[in-house]
Amino acid sequence: MINWIENADLSSRNSLGFQVSAERFIEVDTVEHLELALNDVQHNQWSLLLLGGGSNLVLKPFIPGAVISVNLQGINILVDDESSAIVEVGAGVNWHQFVGRLLEMGLHGLENLALIPGNVGAAPVQNIGAYGVELADCFHSLTAYDRKTAELVQLNKDDCCFGYRDSLFKSREPGRYIIWQVRFLLSTVFSPNLGYRALSDYFDQQAVTAPGAYDVYRAVCEIRQSKLPTPDKIGNVGSFFENPIVQEEQYLQLKQRFPNLVAYPDAPGSYKLAAGWLIDQAGWKGHKAASVGVYDKQALVLVNLDKGDSEALLGLAKSIQDSVMEKFSVSLKMEPRVYPA
Ligand code: EPU
């Protein structure tokens, strides 16, 4: 028997801080419990939302059906040799706390992903990335509950089809797998990844030539805090749009019209544009639309200013998309998921 919580308040479980009520909600930390909850969902034909840290979701005020949150904890070293280790982590572990724990354990590779909000179980879904590193770089494998076959399955890196802010779980098989535990392959030897401009500039300014793991971790935290709002204080979901990828021809035309365009070479023949720059240039940075707005230090981040809701935020997002399309002929794709769609 599952004791569903009815009319559950999810306002502290979504990083936008929206007032959201779920018809029913349950937190699970055993497979038996998960299966019981899924049986209820199937039997009653409820719609289902799997909630992680709620940091990449735009929730509408009422969530019909059921919401399940996986709260499995635990960080365990599985294999440990001289140069590397495989660490297994429960889906409910907070991502940033996990990154901090790895530092204490002397295991390296994820320092650049410090302070990303959300839980470990949600991290593979959009292949979280920041400052030149993405989850896939240190990913080993994961255990997930397959709703199609009703069993736990092991998926390796290739199975997960990771791409830029993308994976099997996001685009190919949404809703099929419930991520239960994630395994990372980490190094016992630290070698800094300073390929991202903001990070290398940070150390240049401080005249640090060989930063250690803690230095990189602290630098990432500092840079993030200077540009991105803390969700406890100002509701947000990080980047609201993906950085758009355009073909070389369009990039060259744009570069001619806008010589300051910020872009990075992507796959051969294509370029990734900085969406934050496009939105900023279209005049949106710091814009306030009553209850919601555009963050004044990073135009790619939309914020809940005061009792905002999904309708206000999606309205603002649409206006931004239209204006970037008009000025640059570039289409911006939303990064967070809207639920119910
Ligand atoms: N820019 C502006 N104006 C702005 C914002 C940015 O001109 O208002 C310019 C910056 O000057 C810079 C460029 O755009 O030249 C890129 O900005 P930034 O370094 O802040 O990174 P981003 O491309 O906007 C991406 C990720 C972030 C991640 C950072 C750092 C996406 C969609 N976003 O942002 O991820 O933290 O790089 O690696 O890829 C997230 O996904 O929630 C997220 C925060």
Of 13, 165, 183, 224, the catalytic one is 165
- Is 335 an active-site residue? yes
Ligand 1, pocket residues at CB < 6 Å: 130-131, 196, 198, 227-228, 238-239, 242-243, 262, 274, 276-277, 280, 285, 298-300, 335
How does the average pLDDT of the chain come out, rounded?
97
- Output the pTM of the full model: 0.95
Q: For the residues 300-305, what does the mean pLDDT come to? A: 98
Closest ligand 1 atom, residue 164 Cα: 39
Q: pLDDT value at position 79?
A: 87
Q: What is the pLDDT of residues 179-209, one digit of tens each?
A: 999 999 999 999 999 999 999 999 999 999 9
Q: Report whether pLDDT(1) > 90.
A: no
CA of 221 relative to ligand 1 center, distance in Å: 15
Closest CA to 76 of 85, 64, 89: 89
Are residues 110 and 129 in contact, defined by beta-carbon separation less than 8 angstroms?
Answer: no
Q: Following DSSP, what letter does each residue of 31-79 receive, concatenated? A: HHHHHHHHHHHHHHT--EEEESSSSSEEE-SEEEEEEEEE----EEEEE
Nearest CA owner, ligand 1 atom 3 = 277
Question: 144 CA to middle of ligand 1, Å?
Answer: 31
| Tens digit of each residue's pLDDT (9 = 90 or more) over 144-174 | 999 999 999 999 999 999 999 999 999 999 9
**Torsions phi, psi of 188, nearest 5?**
-85, -10
- Segment 219-264, tens digit of pLDDT: 999 999 999 999 999 999 999 999 999 999 999 999 999 999 999 9
Tell me what the mean pLDDT of segment 32-39 comes to. 97
Ligand 1 centre distance from Cα of residue 281 (Å)? 14
Annotated catalytic residue 165: yes
- Domains assigned to the chain: 5-70 (3.30.43.10), 75-187 (3.30.465.10), 235-339 (3.90.78.10)
Helix (H) or strand (E) holding 256: helix 248-257
